[in-house]
Amino acid sequence: MRSTMVMFSVLFVVFFILSGCEREEVEEFVPEEPMATEISISIETEDQVLVNGNPMPLGELEPHLQDLAVQDEVIAYVHAAPGVDTEIIDEVEAIIARVDGVEMREEMDLPEMEM
């Protein structure tokens, strides 16, 4: 009985080696659009913004965006705290427009959930 099992095992391995298995070519996944870094810019006061939750003076926003845009394309979502002057919002939008490689988009609309 034991020799029969060994014989079938050996025959199975030999059959598997001789028959081989089909190999399929695997295509590498390359996205059509390059990957982009998404950041959230929240205007808190007239001289301070939050970039992904990290406080930053408004004067440092442009160099920070330029540093990010060197590595990847950047998509910026901008929103302002209540009571922020529209001139400050326009200034932040102008800073974003000046930096090459940074695209400003509106806040994503999430579908409303029914309860």
Question: Bigger pLDDT: 18 or 110?
Answer: 18
Q: What is the pTM assigned to this prediction?
A: 0.61
Segment 65-99, tens digit of pLDDT: 999 888 888 899 998 888 888 899 899 999 999 99
Which residue type occupies 11? L
Does pLDDT of 111 surpass 70?
no
In whole numbers, what is the pLDDT of the chain averaged over residues?
81
Does pLDDT of 109 surpass 50?
no
Return the closest-CA partner of residue 78 out of 68, 66, 88, 70: 88
Largest CA distance in the chain: 90
Share of the chain above pLDDT 90, in %: 26
**Token representation of residue 17:** 């080696």
Segment 24-36, tens digit of pLDDT: 666 776 666 667 7
Spell out a b/e string for 2-31, using b for 16 or more CB atoms within 10 Å of the CB, else e: eeeeeeeeeeeeeeeeeeeeeeeeeeeeee
Q: How far, in Å, CA of 103 to CA of 75, rounded?
A: 5
